[in-house]
Structure 1
Amino acid sequence: MDCYECLASPNTATTAVAVCRECGVGLCSRHLHVEQHEMHLAAGLGKSTTRLPARRVVCPACAKAERSR
């Protein structure tokens, strides 16, 4: 799979190393955004989040859209 962002621009094709969690496009290491994501669990009256944050990979378009809220 090739990086969608590289194919959409005049750059050469680059092999994808990850997939965007939101839209599913392939991403090379130059175009991916790695973010921390707090995990929520159904725990009744107890703690509803995990101690450690999870890792989440998104593309530049999805990262920009999420920041625009």
Structure 2
Amino acid sequence: MDPDTFNMEVRKFLKVVGVTSQREIEAAVERAIRSGRIKGGETLSAKVVLTVDGIDLRHEIDGEIELG
């Protein structure tokens, strides 16, 4: 394994995850506000589950997103 290549590939993957996840969350919040399901001042519970095949990795991150 080349540590530099590995590090760069992990960072690229996580950047894609972060950018696309933010877009999806923003779009879902906008839809929920438009439909009246939420008002826009709530705090939303969120969870990310990361799995990586081949190394049996399953990592969960729980958090909150405050809409303010």
TM-score (norm 2): 0.29
* Structure with larger Rg: 2
TM-score (norm 1): 0.28
**Which structure dedicates a bigger proportion of its chain to strand?**
2
